Amino acid sequence: MTAGGVQRTVVAAATGIMILGAAAARADAGPAPDADAPALAEQRHFSVAPPWWRRVLAAPEQGLDGLAWPVKRAAFWAEDANLPARVQDALYFNDERTAGWFPNFDFGGEISAGAGLRFFHHDLGPGARVDLSTLLAYRNLEEGAFEEGRVFASAFVPRVAGGPVDLAAEVFFQADEDEDLFVRTLPDGALRLGTVPRESEQSTYAFDQVRGLIQADVHPVERLTVGLAFRPLWGDVGQGEGGEPPTPTTVDGFGGPAVLLGGGPIVEWDGRDAPVRPRAGWYTRAAGGYWDAVEGGAPSARPYRYGRYGGEIHRYQPTFRTGRILVLRAALDRVEPFGDATVPFWDLPVLDEDHLLRAFDRNRFRDRGALAFNVEYRYPIWDTWDGFLFLDEGQVFRNYSDIAGHRFEWSTGAGARFYTAQGFLFRVQLAVGEEDRNFQIGLQQEF
């Protein structure tokens, strides 16, 4: 069916619902009056009967009532049947409601949209809990990929917590035929990433990857987490199917499939007053690691072997009134190749719309280092909703000596974050920057 056909069908259906619903809504108003009602009403001291023109003027409202009528009947049925109780009973495996399953959604971020299932059991012993989640995701919904029904990515995430060691694992699969890389080919054939390419120097490539994670955490003291992660990677880059020029195949990262093994330590200190909607406190995280290719290498025949380190620190600073807070964030992500080795471009640090430089296209800036500073002012707009203003400043760099004030890119904007009493729900935001503006809806609470 064409877009116009769909539109006409929707309009026709809505009109039908409106007319039939309006009639049904009128019937809902109650039974017909008794035959002697008019005579009785005649005797009343006070009586108001709307004139015909008043009923005509009310027609648009009657139409709205008609549209709402099916929802009304559904709401009546759901309340009469206590639908939430039935749904909860279907979702939980036990009366204590410590085990069950939930639908799992993701939107925005590294993947565009995804859905899956989460299974959990939180009463396996003193404090012991297991979570298992899966996700199937799609990219570029607006371009019709969803209609084709093609799986773009999937994640499988089991977690075990509550014992002396928390264990988490993750397998993430991605098969995307239109990833973007911003790259400039210099006259001598050399390639430049980072802040050099303009927005127009966008190229496309296909990318399949499998990322794994096995992580063990301990908590030597309250709020402190020390962990060790093993992160294997498999990646294969090919020619993209997007409308942009193809990514030059000489960039490090092409050259056939590569398998990298690596990992390293993680240290996290969470001194916030609440993890979901923090109002005060500090959060800091540092991670490091080493990766080495056991298979594959760059087109230049250089091997992939590099170290990676970075961290971030957040300060949640109360201001003049309860709930009005200033959030300061600084983050560094850095890879360092060893010797004559190199780093595949697809594992370089990134700054873009998903990495807190919110006005910029996905994968806009990639290089061996990424430095970002974010300031957010958050304020309550409803019981569990916050508004926020933000300013992002960030730059990617090849060497630390490249970092310069004038090379920082910025984006700014506003948005709202929505929570439930239990957790983060989603955020909407509008970011503007030097190159573009970007409206986003996301299910991730980035900080």
Partner 1 sequence: MRRRRHPAPLARAVAAALAAVVLLAAAAVAAAGILWKDNDGQPIPEPAEDDAGNHTWWHDAHSMSVYQAGKVLDLGESLPALARASGLAGPREAVNVNALDGVPDSTWFTNRHARRRLAPAALRRGPDGQPPPAADGPLTIESGKALGEAPGFVVRDATGARFVVKLDPPAHPEMATGAEQVSARIVHALGWHVPAYHLFTIDPARLVLAPDATTRDDYRRRRPMTAADVEKVLACAARRPDGSYRATASAFIPGTPKGPFRMEGTRPDDPNDTVPHEDRRDLRGFRVVAAWINHTDFRPANTFDTFVRRPGDPPGRGRLVHYLLDFSSTLGSADLVWKDAKRGHEYVIDPAGIAGRFLTLGVRVEPWEDAALRHPTLGYFAGAPFDPDAWVPEYPSPPFDRATARDELWGAALVASVTDDDLRVLVETAAWSDPAATALLFEALRARRDAVARTCFAAARINPADDFTVDDAAFRWVDRAVAAGVVAAADARYRYRVDDGARVVSENPAVPRARLAAAGWVELETSHDRGAHWSPTATVRLERGRDGTPRVAGIARASR
Shortest Cβ 89–partner 1 spacing (Å): 7
User: CA triplet 322, 326, 330: central angle to 5 degrees?
Assistant: 150
Of 390, 271, 421, the closest CA to residue 325 belongs to 390
Cβ proximity to partner 1: between 71 and 117 the closer is: 71
Shortest Cβ 369–partner 1 spacing (Å): 34
Contacts with partner 1 in 381-420 (CB under 8 A)? 381-383, 385, 387, 389, 416
Shortest Cβ 65–partner 1 spacing (Å): 7
Shortest Cβ 68–partner 1 spacing (Å): 5
Contacts with partner 1 in 302-321 (CB under 8 A)? 321
Cβ proximity to partner 1: between 382 and 400 the closer is: 382
Cβ proximity to partner 1: between 6 and 40 the closer is: 40
Task: Using CB under 8 A, pick the residue from 93, 373, 377, 418 that binds partner 1.
Answer: 377
Contacts with partner 1 in 37-96 (CB under 8 A)? 37-38, 40-41, 43-50, 53-54, 57-58, 60-61, 63-65, 68, 72, 75-76, 78-82, 85-86, 89
CA distance 332 to 272: 20
Residue in the block written with tokens 């298979």: 295
Shortest Cβ 422–partner 1 spacing (Å): 17
Does position 380 bind partner 1 by CB under 8 A? Answer: yes
Residue in the block written with tokens 């399953």: 101
Of 302, 299, 166, 318, the closest CA to residue 227 belongs to 166
Cβ proximity to partner 1: between 19 and 214 the closer is: 19
Q: How many residues bind partner 1 (CB under 8 A)?
A: 55
Please give the residue ranges that form the binding site for partner 1 (CB under 8 A). 28-34, 36-38, 40-41, 43-50, 53-54, 57-58, 60-61, 63-65, 68, 72, 75-76, 78-82, 85-86, 89, 321-324, 377, 379-383, 385, 387, 389, 416
